[in-house]
A and B are shown apart, each in its own frame.
Chain A
Amino acid sequence: MCGIVGLYLKNPKLESQLGKLFEPMLEAMTDRGPDSAGFAIYGDEVAEGWVKLTLQATTEGYDFKALVAAVEARLGCALDWFQNASAIVLKVQADEAAVRAVLAELAPSVRIMSAGQSIEILKGMGLPKEISERFGLASMKGSHIIGHTRMATESAVTMEGSHPFSTGADLCLVHNGSLSNHSRLRQNLRREGITFETENDTEVAAGYLTWRLQQGDTLKQALDKSLEDLDGFFTFAIGTRNGFAVIRDPIACKPAILAETDDYVAMASEYQALSSLPGIENAKVWEPVPATMYIWERESA
């Protein structure tokens, strides 16, 4: 099963309420995904020349303070950070590859959930309500957010196997469905230099998009190709720095519903998740057509 939710604000006045508007949407999809949950929130952008990473430890009580001190000593550049439950958001005035290299050496067990100027990915095992409370979702601000509630079918219930998956700088993917050719695709992508941490099918879809984007595809081109190369059934929601996109497989096995008002665009697996949004009674509500990409983006970041 699994549930997908996304909210993109057209009206900047609502940005201070993004988390508050989104929390009931995520929790409404508990029936579709009680194993684990997560979300990718966009906002609080770092300046040019800086990179923002979200890190999660695989063990409880990990000493992030010591890690950050070691990173700072090694890189010798300005940085800022804060902890949120089992995760930290680390902002560094350096390039992403340099930070990744240092982290790989100093803390190989720490997972890099996301990297970019704007994105923060927070996820974990447990009911959606526990996840939103753990990370304080209700008080978060931002321009847009996508989330996922998981009922695992293809691989183990772990923090690493929960969604969203990062697919590159400020990009992430959430998925409802399952892919049948993920093993072969994973082998092929490994040969192309893409690394994988789990046996999860969605991680393969994320790796596929990362690879296509590295090859110079636009997001639209990459998603169009994914319709040819990914065998299975899926609804994808993709977060980008400036917005989000939604695409369903050509057979349309998995549900999706979209709603738009002057203030926002929202998507969900089921209408129930949209019913708490303000002004939803008068929103334009429709089902996205199969094999067609829907994208909403701001003109500038």
Chain B
Amino acid sequence: MKTIDLSNASVRDLNQALHDQAKHVDDREWVVTHPDGAHNLAVGVNQEVSIDIQGHAGYYCAGMNQKASVTVHGNVGVGCAENMMSGYVRVKGSASQAAGATAHGGLLVIEGDAGARCGISMKGIDIVVGGSIGHMSCFMGQAGRLVVCGDAGDALGDSLYETRIYVKGKVESLGSDCIAKEMRAEHLEELQQLLDRAGFNEKAADFKRYGSARQLYNFKVDNASAY
């Protein structure tokens, strides 16, 4: 196990050491101490290593992650796991805005709440939030699944493509073209799998499903006069 103490080492030292693992693995287990809210921790990792961040992290933590498993024992700032390609990111506390933004793959678990724009433009990532999420979440979500065990803020799933959204609590309002949908057997099954993988003791049957009404996919000739 390799420990990097950010009260002595720089973020550049940490990230360079982690990037070097893509060529040659020195260690599978990494521990980061004294993060003190620093930005860009464990960004761009491309190797099957596990990284434990012991404290609060700043912006873009675990951004662009591939293959690595990152656990933050605290809160994260804006853009956690943004553009993640694969791997696993777990936040023990809460996340600020734009968690999992544009991400293509992997699993992001947030045990607490996530702020506004959670999963904005998500392209295949799975996001499971133990608490509630803020406004404009999943805006233009294209693929992947967003699971919320608490409530969702205003304009959930606005201009949604094919992301599937599951919410247990109250939805403040749905965005344009986002509608409640029937929960079929395959949905219950995939949701239960996601909840189990995230380690949350929840029942899929307690959730509602939301998705795209697919009314914005094509231009409607009736609207031509508006242009």
Q: Which residues of A contact B (CB under 8 A)?
A: 251-252, 255, 257, 270-275, 281, 285-287, 289-290
Contacts and interface: CB of A to CB of B under 8 A. Distances in A.
12 contacts: A252-B115, A252-B116, A257-B96, A271-B56, A271-B58, A272-B58, A275-B37, A275-B56, A285-B93, A287-B94, A289-B134, A290-B116
Contacts of B36: 271-272, 275
Pairs of residues from A and B, 10 with the lowest C-beta to C-beta distance, nearest first = A271-B37, A275-B36, A272-B37, A271-B56, A252-B116, A275-B37, A287-B115, A287-B96, A285-B75, A272-B58
A270 B37 contact: yes
B78 A255 contact: yes
Report which residue of A252, A285, A286 has the largest number of chain B beta carbons within 10 angstroms of its beta carbon: A252
A87 B116 CA distance: 42
A30 to B, nearest CB: 14
A19 B22 CA distance: 46
A23 to B, nearest CB: 16
Contacts, number: 43
A202 B78 CA distance: 25
A281 B54 CA distance: 11
Given A252-B134, A285-B75, A274 B37 contact: yes
B83 interface: no
Q: What's the interface size class on B, roughly?
A: 10 to 19
Nearest to B76: A271
A272 B38 contact: yes
Contacts of B115: 252, 287
Interface in B54-70: 55-56, 58-59
Contacts of A251: 116
B61 to A, nearest CB: 11
Contact of A270 (B58, B93, B94, B116): B58
A255 B97 CA distance: 9
Nearest to A256: B96
Determine which residue in A252, A271, A285, A289 has the highest number of CB atoms from chain B within 10 A of its CB, and name it: A271
Contacts of B77: 255, 270-271
Contacts of B135: 252, 290
B7 to A, nearest CB: 10
Q: Which of B36, B59, B75, B97 has the most CB of A within 10 A?
A: B36
Contacts of A275: 36-37, 56
Given A270-B77, A271-B75, A272-B37, A285 B56 contact: yes
A108 B12 CA distance: 51
A272 B37 CA distance: 5
A41 B84 CA distance: 43
Interface in B61-109: 75, 77-78, 93-94, 96-97
Contacts of B134: 252, 289-290
Nearest to A271: B37
A270 B40 CA distance: 13
Contacts of B94: 286-287
A270 B60 CA distance: 13
